[in-house]
Structure 1
Amino acid sequence: MPDFHPHHSVPYPYPRDITIPQFILDSDTHPLRPSRLAGSTWLVDDVTGRAFGLEEIRERVERLARAIREEWGVRPGDVACLYSANDVDYPIVIWALHRLGAVVSCANPSYTHSELEYQLSATSSKLLFTSSASLPTALKAASVAHIAPSNIVVLSPVPPARTPGECFPTSAQAEQGEFATVQGLVDRGWDLAKNYAEPRGPDVGDSIAFLSFSSGTTGLPKAIAIAHRNLIANVLQVAMHERCTERGLRDEDRFALPGDACMGVLPMYHIYGLVMNLHFVLFCGMTLVVCPKFNFQAMLESIVRHHITHLYIVPPQVVMLVNNPITKRYDLGHVRFAMVGAAPLSREVTEKFKAMFPRMRMGQGYGMTETCTIVSKFLFQQESVNGSAGLLIPDTVARIVKEDGSIADYGEPGELWVKGPQMALCYANNQKATEETFLPEGWVRTGDEALMTKEGNLFVVDRLKEILKVNGYQVAPAELEGHLIVHPYVQDAGVVGIADEYKGEVPLGFVVLEPSVAARVRASAAEAGQVTAELKKWVADHKVRYKHLEGGVEFVEAVPKNPSGKILRRLLREQAKEVVRLRAKSGKAQARL
């Protein structure tokens, strides 16, 4: 069977001679770029209402870049970590660093200090940008990673917009204690002449833009090297897929219209939020309303207040929209588009969502950090197929490989391989992992089991790789197992996911206890409860929230393994299904009492 190809290609060469800020901020004439209203707003702070247009963004990026260069001498190839919740200055920091040729590594603001320290050390970060809320954790991690306090920058409140005729901006808080702030650096940049040469050249797009972290198909998080051209290509591919500038379309069939606005609720450190919700939205001429933290009712209020037309969301948010009664208090009739990604959404929830919002065009997409986001998505101009991850986007080729190594036909499941101009470069400084996932001829092994229909719809049917998806976030079982095993109560451990209506799946730990502890647990139900609570706390105290053992802890005699010692996860998943079945049976019995 030949490989699966998309219905369309991008009819223009993918640029390799520009960087991301040059593409987004400096070039507005690409044939696939929709028109933007003159003087329109690009970014809005959802909390304060502070709005930014293109000229102020460019100016802010430039002043910040000059100050960073002056203060720390940042040069091409240097790495800076951005550890913060969403903020209107989040993209400003990214683009300023890219103007200098630096590499940006975005970190989950919920990370514990040990998780952040791992990322700082793995990327050899020179600078750390963080928020006031995340500063205490950032300081702990930075001290271990040998980043001095003088190399930490705090994102700070942005002053009000300048009044007409005002030559220089009103200075905000310049410093936060001993730490520099983004606003203080921007203010300082007004006094600096141009002091850097922005990277340019025919191959500048090949340089690394981001070191984004993913667990890959197994193991601990790895730094994925994403080039400027990878993100730019994905933006253009999706613009072509959405028929953004195609002539002759009715307004209701046009993906982006002048004046459209998008909710920026996805975390910008996540590849889905970074590429689609930030860069693609701005490329399409929409206003992005930046939300620092997700709150369901606040999101509904913001959708109405800002007349939001486009939503990029994840399954838990869809479940809330469908099940939470407060949704009915808000008129969401102006929302035209909703894309669901990061994790699968059930057919049942999809059907209920479509029934509740018949005017909203909604569907799913598929991608991963290693593919610099989108591989497939539903077509805006067509009714999406429930349960499908949509159609392949332009210039993306898929192959489905069966267990025996043969290539699958339509309707036959197997491991999904993909290739295209958006594929990331490699796992940085990890040749073994790179060779396992990034194959010759440009193929990327996704580790997901999928099938393709004759109509071109991609269905992701199972996860072959070990990684769990909790609330759309990747969780490596090996990371949790390694943490559990060092607890004095534990002799061995295995972790798998169990289904959760709200979060997709949550981690369940199978634990082999040390003999003395196991004897205590067998002798007393109270002791079993205390040991369970202790192990769950052990994980909760050291890991980010979505890695907690919300699926519970089960004590077992042994974790199933093959002769070489590798955990047999299929057997462990079968055990987990039985645990879930028994829990449900017990719950029904309790309900009858």
Structure 2
Amino acid sequence: MTFAIAPSSSTTTVFDLTSPVGPLPYIPDDLTCTQFLLDHRHPARPYNKFSNPWLVEEATGRQVGCEEARARAWGLANALSSRWKIGEDDVVCVFSANHIDWPIAIWATHRLGGIVTGANPAYTPDELSYQLNITRTKLLITHSSSLSVALAAARNSGIPEDHIVLIDSQPIAAGSKLYPTVETLVQEGLKIAPTFVERRLAPGEGRTKLALLNFSSGTTGTPKAVAIPHYAVIANTIQMAFHDRAAEDYTTWEKRRTRTGDAVYAVLPMYHVYGILITLQHYIFVGYTLVISSKFNLVNMLKSIERYRINHLLTAPPMVVQMCKNPVVKQYDLSSVRFMMCSAAPLSAELTQQLIELLPQIEIHQGYGMTETSSVVTWPRTDKKYGSLGSGGQIMPGVTMRVVKEDGTLAKLGESGELYVKTPAMALGYFNNEEATRETFINGWVRTGDIVYFNDEGEVFVIDRIKELMKVKGFQVAPAELEGHLFTNPLVGDTCVVPIPDEYSGEVPLAFVVPSKTALDRVKKCPEEADTIKAEIVKFVADNKVYYKRLAGGVEFIDAIPRNPSGKLLRRVLREKARELKKAQAATQTKAKL
């Protein structure tokens, strides 16, 4: 399979990269993404002859079919309209881990013409208040375990206490206040007369009417609300289904990647664009059952694969690390799994190879995207069981890409530079933040901030983030490359590489390492082994990498690598920790001299 290199419309002769799959079928611009998913028939959508449920609650096995889902969404919408007058462009924040009623809350809000913003349930009151204020949230749906944080944030943001709803099944009283639940509101809404009329969008309105306000740091800076219109969600859904030929009988049923009636493990957070657009929107569109898990736990996932006969796994790198490093995986029957995709952060070629050896029967791929492009812009190719090791997938239909070098010229195939993307699924910009929008959304392109290169089959390879590349003696060093190599060492359970200042080299790599069980057993028998193991890890890199990529900053053991819920390394946290270590070492050396 090849891909297209076409002259651009620029005044200079440059080349844009496009997909080998296409052209895309029509993208409706007069529907909300909920109308598209629940009410519309599109040629890219496979016909589902099975009666499989749409949603399954992992812990209890509770099932929700398509008709019940529609009814629950309508009932909740009716109650939200009746009680709080939620309507056109009102923002509803869902502050909860994954729950079987998360999709219901989204669909109900969209039925009313509202906008959904999802918030990380691990947020502090200040972090949640920041999001509530930026999005101008009117109603807050939360889990009972997060109620205290929700109440504090609501007070800080001027949201009345009676504008809080619990996603749990049981009402909870706090003081004299009884908080309603989604379940009670659904039943209430189904019993009363309609209090709203769902409208049809005007032609073209879907391109600008907001569906989601999802948060991203963009290429730099503090989190910003990405304004995602309904058209973008619909476009990305069609792109994924069309690329996978979901509605085509192109091969035998057993060999097809997308099979209606199959099941996908839905553990990736629904407040993240990966969870909303890929797990929820795409997989329901193509007829899958979502087995909804509230939080990733390796053993629980393995048990669910057996219990529910999961066919597709959507993962992030931390999940893959655990699968490759933990021998418990081999105790479970994973024969039902046919396809696995890893996204949210790059997965090294070395770790991919380990995964292939562990699960040789399944397709293993990566995808690449960002909140600003309303999810994926590259997707697993269908003509190979595995993509090229380390690649982030193949360009999606309808997407155009450029790789821009430091001097502003366009890179050739195999050359690296910053990735620029144009897609029909592009977000409108950052909500109420014109300055940040101008920095990232440039003349119809999204500036990704990622350093990449392409091979001649249209596969993208993400090297690192612009702000994360380190300069060692004038050479660029990508932390992700070193991390991928370290993952192959049996002494390393998890790792993150950061730069530390160095008078001679400018900066040098330091590796924070979570020791593997093997390493911990050695240290337990003999504490002095810790220094020996660190030296072995340093030598492991020195024996395999060019001199300027060696761990001249050393190795520091750590209990856990900080990551955000989507699996991306919180590298800035460890950069700060590395600076503190450097200062402490300098102070110790000064005292020794005195």
TM over 0.5: yes
**Matching of residues 53-68 of structure 1 within 5 Å:** 53-68=65-80
Looking at structure 2, the residues matched to 508 and 131 of structure 1 have their Cα atoms a distance apart, in angstroms, of 39
- SS of 2:241's partner is helix
| Percent sequence identity over aligned pairs | 43
For 1:426, the aligned partner's letter is G
**Matching of residues 220-231 of structure 1 within 5 Å:** 220-231=222-233
Which residue pairs with 1:90 in the alignment?
102
Displacement after TM superposition at 1:173 (Å): 4.9
Which residue pairs with 2:168 in the alignment?
156
Native 8 Å contact 1:120 1:145 kept in 2 = yes
Which residue pairs with 2:347 in the alignment?
345
Displacement after TM superposition at 1:174 (Å): 8.8
Does residue 14 (structure 1) correspond to residue 39 (structure 2)? The answer is no
- SS of 1:262's partner is strand
**1:451-472, CA deviations, whole angstroms, 9 ceiling, x for partnerless residues?**
111221111112114699xxxx
Relative to structure 1, the CA distance from residue 174 to residue 557 in structure 2 (aligned partners, 3 Å threshold; closer, same or farther) is closer
Which residue pairs with 2:39 in the alignment?
26
Does residue 43 (structure 1) correspond to residue 68 (structure 2)? The answer is no
**Matching of residues 427-438 of structure 1 within 5 Å:** 427-438=430-441
**1:225-264, CA deviations, whole angstroms, 9 ceiling, x for partnerless residues?**
0001101100110111111122331223312223210000
For 2:579, the aligned partner's letter is E
Native 8 Å contact 1:509 1:549 kept in 2 = no
For 1:362, the aligned partner's letter is I
**How many aligned residue pairs are there?**
488
Looking at structure 2, the residues matched to 310 and 544 of structure 1 have their Cα atoms a distance apart, in angstroms, of 18
Which residue pairs with 1:126 in the alignment?
138
**1:7-30, CA deviations, whole angstroms, 9 ceiling, x for partnerless residues?**
122442111111111111112x31
Looking at structure 1, the residues matched to 21 and 379 of structure 2 have their Cα atoms a distance apart, in angstroms, of 13
Looking at structure 1, the residues matched to 405 and 359 of structure 2 have their Cα atoms a distance apart, in angstroms, of 38
Relative to structure 1, the CA distance from residue 100 to residue 84 in structure 2 (aligned partners, 3 Å threshold; closer, same or farther) is same
For 2:310, the aligned partner's letter is I
Looking at structure 2, the residues matched to 320 and 36 of structure 1 have their Cα atoms a distance apart, in angstroms, of 34
Which residue pairs with 1:385 in the alignment?
388
- SS of 1:178's partner is strand
Looking at structure 2, the residues matched to 456 and 508 of structure 1 have their Cα atoms a distance apart, in angstroms, of 32
Which residue pairs with 1:205 in the alignment?
206
Looking at structure 1, the residues matched to 137 and 143 of structure 2 have their Cα atoms a distance apart, in angstroms, of 17
For 2:458, the aligned partner's letter is G
- SS of 1:210's partner is strand
Looking at structure 2, the residues matched to 72 and 256 of structure 1 have their Cα atoms a distance apart, in angstroms, of 41
Displacement after TM superposition at 1:194 (Å): 1.6
Relative to structure 1, the CA distance from residue 544 to residue 320 in structure 2 (aligned partners, 3 Å threshold; closer, same or farther) is closer
For 2:233, the aligned partner's letter is L
Pairing partner for 2:268 from 249, 266, 269: 266
Looking at structure 2, the residues matched to 234 and 504 of structure 1 have their Cα atoms a distance apart, in angstroms, of 33
Relative to structure 1, the CA distance from residue 462 to residue 11 in structure 2 (aligned partners, 3 Å threshold; closer, same or farther) is closer
Looking at structure 2, the residues matched to 106 and 187 of structure 1 have their Cα atoms a distance apart, in angstroms, of 24
Native 8 Å contact 2:272 2:566 kept in 1 = no
Looking at structure 1, the residues matched to 89 and 190 of structure 2 have their Cα atoms a distance apart, in angstroms, of 25
Native 8 Å contact 2:164 2:179 kept in 1 = yes
**Matching of residues 472-487 of structure 1 within 5 Å:** none
Looking at structure 2, the residues matched to 113 and 410 of structure 1 have their Cα atoms a distance apart, in angstroms, of 47
Looking at structure 2, the residues matched to 31 and 179 of structure 1 have their Cα atoms a distance apart, in angstroms, of 43
For 1:151, the aligned partner's letter is H
For 2:364, the aligned partner's letter is M
Does residue 183 (structure 1) correspond to residue 196 (structure 2)? The answer is no
Native 8 Å contact 1:217 1:467 kept in 2 = no
Looking at structure 2, the residues matched to 348 and 466 of structure 1 have their Cα atoms a distance apart, in angstroms, of 20
Relative to structure 1, the CA distance from residue 79 to residue 556 in structure 2 (aligned partners, 3 Å threshold; closer, same or farther) is same
Relative to structure 1, the CA distance from residue 152 to residue 78 in structure 2 (aligned partners, 3 Å threshold; closer, same or farther) is same
Native 8 Å contact 1:175 1:184 kept in 2 = no
Looking at structure 2, the residues matched to 215 and 68 of structure 1 have their Cα atoms a distance apart, in angstroms, of 31
Native 8 Å contact 2:367 2:380 kept in 1 = yes
Looking at structure 1, the residues matched to 121 and 382 of structure 2 have their Cα atoms a distance apart, in angstroms, of 33
**Matching of residues 231-380 of structure 1 within 5 Å:** 231-380=233-382
Relative to structure 1, the CA distance from residue 557 to residue 33 in structure 2 (aligned partners, 3 Å threshold; closer, same or farther) is closer
Range 137-146 or range 175-184, more displaced? 175-184
**1:15-64, CA deviations, whole angstroms, 9 ceiling, x for partnerless residues?**
1111111111112x311112223432100000111101011001000010
Pairing partner for 2:442 from 436, 439, 443: 439
**What CA RMSD, in Å, does the superposition of the two structures yield over aligned residues?**
2.7
Native 8 Å contact 1:316 1:504 kept in 2 = no
Looking at structure 2, the residues matched to 416 and 345 of structure 1 have their Cα atoms a distance apart, in angstroms, of 18
Name the TM-score, length of structure 2 as normaliser: 0.78
Looking at structure 2, the residues matched to 118 and 247 of structure 1 have their Cα atoms a distance apart, in angstroms, of 48
Native 8 Å contact 1:10 1:240 kept in 2 = no
Looking at structure 1, the residues matched to 437 and 469 of structure 2 have their Cα atoms a distance apart, in angstroms, of 17
Looking at structure 1, the residues matched to 363 and 148 of structure 2 have their Cα atoms a distance apart, in angstroms, of 42
